[in-house]
Copies of this chain bind each other. A is one copy, B any other.
């Protein structure tokens, strides 16, 4: 029986990504609620899959406005067993959920830090004096919204329906083109196919061209790099781990050759998987 970990509780965008995954990959299981396992933080959801408590973890990795989800990248670098099985891109539209009848009655707004950041201009303009409280997920504040008419939450329309709470304004995200990419993570290493692959590496030495060499490995073979993101190694300021996405599948001969060469110009190299984006 497949179990899916996601950043919960129900009503988060991660849950929407998990439901989309089910619809696409396991339509027979779509209406079986027992397979959905909410976790309170992203690292806990990832660890559940790493430790085999669930088969799959679905976590956000990048938003088109706010950029990389650093907790996901840092947890992926720590993981020993997980591979990316699939990527899912979802449009994000935030609702202001509150029992307040007018904006001026609102004293507190709850959301995930990414939710608050994606509505920053709207908040500065319409609710400049309210206290913004960061929660572990977009739906964590909904209990308070239910109890307290001066509280509001920034979450999905689906969250408002699930918790039976009214939407005062929609959409309130600053940029209409707001998308989040989610990763489907699992211990299954058998398939390794698809259109994209993700890798992460640290560098041997900080010297002229140290980062160019790994990138040339792909450019020389006409493999497109669709993304690069750096994260601190947490050892010392100025030392980084690089996460790259390439437009190729790892079993391709061209790509295999690139990986062999990549090993010679990196310190630690982690292969995070090949997958399709839906």
A contacts with B: majority SS: mixed
Chain A positions 102 through 144: 1 when the CB is less than 8 Å from some CB of chain B, otherwise 0: 0000000000010010000000000000011110000000000
With known contacts A206-B226, A212-B219, A230-B229, A236–B64 Cβ distance under 8 A:
yes
**Complex alpha-carbon distance, A230 and B70, angstroms:** 13
Partner of A224, one of B133, B134, B206, B229: B206
Q: B134 contacts A63, CB within 8 Å?
A: no
Partner of A208, one of B65, B132, B224, B238: B224
With known contacts A237-B89, A237-B181, A63–B208 Cβ distance under 8 A:
no
Which residues on the B side are within 8 Å of A218 (C-beta)?
Answer: 208-209, 212
Copies of this chain, tallied across the complex:
2
Q: B231 contacts A211, CB within 8 Å?
A: no
Q: A228 contacts B225, CB within 8 Å?
A: no
Which residues on the B side are within 8 Å of A212 (C-beta)?
Answer: 212, 215-216, 218-219, 225
**Complex alpha-carbon distance, A131 and B110, angstroms:** 12
Q: A219 contacts B208, CB within 8 Å?
A: yes
Which residues on the B side are within 8 Å of A68 (C-beta)?
Answer: 230
- A251 at the B interface (CB under 8 A): no
CB distance from A108 to the nearest CB of B (A): 10
**Complex alpha-carbon distance, A234 and B89, angstroms:** 15
Partner of A237, one of B62, B209, B219, B238: B62
**Complex alpha-carbon distance, A212 and B70, angstroms:** 24
Which residues on the B side are within 8 Å of A179 (C-beta)?
Answer: 236-237
Which residues on the B side are within 8 Å of A66 (C-beta)?
Answer: 70, 232
Complex interface residues of chain A between 191 and 229 (CB less than 8 A to chain B):
206-212, 215-216, 218-219, 222-229
Which residues on the B side are within 8 Å of A209 (C-beta)?
Answer: 218-219, 222
Which residues on the B side are within 8 Å of A62 (C-beta)?
Answer: 232, 237
Identify which of A62, A64, A216 gathers the most chain B CB atoms within 10 Å of its CB.
A64
Q: Which residues of A contact B (CB under 8 A)?
A: 62-68, 70, 89, 113, 116, 131-134, 175, 177, 179, 181, 206-212, 215-216, 218-219, 222-232, 234-238, 240, 242
- 28 cross-chain CB contacts under 8 A: A64-B232, A64-B236, A64-B237, A64-B238, A65-B232, A66-B70, A66-B232, A67-B231, A113-B113, A113-B134, A116-B134, A133-B133, A206-B226, A208-B218, A208-B219, A208-B222, A208-B223, A211-B228, A212-B212, A212-B216, A212-B219, A216-B216, A228-B228, A228-B230, A228-B240, A229-B229, A229-B230, A230-B230
Given contacts A65-B234, A208-B225, A227-B238, 5 further A-B contacts (CB under 8 A): A177-B236, A208-B219, A212-B216, A212-B225, A228-B242
